[in-house]
Amino acid sequence: MKGREPIAALTVYDYPMTRMLDGCGVPLLLVGDSLGMVVLGLPDTTGVTMDDMLHHTRAAARAQPNALLAADLPAGSCRTHADALANSRRLIEAGAEAVKAEGGLEIGEYVRAIVAEGIPFLGHLGMLPQRVKEEGGYKIKGRRPDERTMLIDDAAALADAGAFAIVLELVEPTVAGELTSALPIPTIGIGSGPDCDGQILVTPDLWATSPDFIPKHVQPNEQVKTEMESTIANWMNSIGKK
């Protein structure tokens, strides 16, 4: 799809959501570890476990989407080469058709091994939510020259290792545009400006139903949440509940 049409991607966490978004024709669905914040009530993604990811990947996969279904390798699941491979296999056994992990050069060898197993790999660069504690927050990457150089090297390493696309999260938009032009594989931006090959969002952010925080780069449709709330209020009224 690179250079031909924008790639729309959204997150899913369960069977009905996957059915609905697949029915809308979204070509790439991700069981993201944003699961932690938007479903499990955790403060960030660092507490999401392999078991959590497997449970929700199985549920999403039961929808048998036409979309490519990718799943996140959660924090701590790729500490060793063997873990990265074994956990990628487990996500595929659970029904994912591709895996995503955060990182660049430092995971290049894992990525090569995962791809050599026939498992499609989606990269993730820029702000890495699994490192939010070390980073001290969700900050834009690529403004400083050293960050820009690092992003270029990391993206080249992932493409060289066989990644089929790279998510760019909170990357300075001109740098995201540069990476998009330079790479042979698609970039999928989130808060990284319009010049990426595709865009991904955390779906409950778009629906305004994310409970605690909606990032600035999203224009949530508040009506979705309001409609859901009024449906509940109307139903309570209909049974005589004040």
Member of 60, 99, 107, 200 binding ligand KIV (CB under 6 A): 200
Q: How far is the CB of 45 from ligand KIV (least distance, A)?
A: 6
Whether 109 and 116 have beta carbons less than 8 Å apart is answered as: no
Q: How far is the CB of 11 from ligand KIV (least distance, A)?
A: 4
**Interface stretch with ligand KIV, choices 26-34, 53-61, 111-119, 135-143 (CB under 6 A):** 26-34
- Those residues with Cβ within 8 angstroms of residue 240's Cβ, 6 or more apart along the chain or in another chain: none
- Residue 11 binds to ligand KIV (criterion: CB under 6 A): yes
DSSP string, the chain: -TTTSPEEEEE--SHHHHHHHHHTT-SEEEE-TTHHHHTS--SSGGG--HHHHHHHHHHHHTT--SSEEEEE--TTTTSSHHHHHHHHHHHHHTT-SEEE--BSGGGHHHHHHHHHTT--EEEEEES-GGGHHHHTS---BSSSHHHHHHHHHHHHHHHHHT-SEEEEESB-HHHHHHHHHH-SS-EEEESS-S-SSEEEE-HHHHTT--SS---TT----HHHHHHHHHHHHHHHHHTT--
- Residue 202 binds to ligand KIV (criterion: CB under 6 A): yes
Q: How far is the CB of 72 from ligand KIV (least distance, A)?
A: 5
Which phi and psi (to 5°) does residue 169 adopt? -105, 125
- Residue 203 binds to ligand KIV (criterion: CB under 6 A): no
- Judged by CB, which is closer to ligand KIV: 32, or 108? 32
Nearest residue to ligand KIV on Cβ basis: 32
- Residue 34 binds to ligand KIV (criterion: CB under 6 A): yes
Helix 108-116 / helix 81-93 crossing angle, nearest 10 deg: 40
Q: Which of residues 160-179 bind ligand KIV (CB under 6 A)?
A: 167, 169
Annotated active-site residue in 134, 135, 147, 169: 169
Task: Establish whether 134 is a catalytic residue.
Answer: no
Q: How far is the CB of 19 from ligand KIV (least distance, A)?
A: 19
Tokens of 104: 């660049």
Whether 126 and 142 have beta carbons less than 8 Å apart is answered as: yes
- Residue 190 binds to ligand KIV (criterion: CB under 6 A): yes
- Residue 17 binds to ligand KIV (criterion: CB under 6 A): no
Binding flags for ligand KIV, 53-82, as an x/- string (CB under 6 A): -------------------x----------
- Residue 111 binds to ligand KIV (criterion: CB under 6 A): no
Q: How far is the CB of 124 from ligand KIV (least distance, A)?
A: 6
- Residue 130 binds to ligand KIV (criterion: CB under 6 A): no
Q: Where does this chain bind ligand KIV (CB under 6 A)?
A: 11, 32-34, 72, 167, 169, 190, 200, 202
- Active site residue ranges: 169
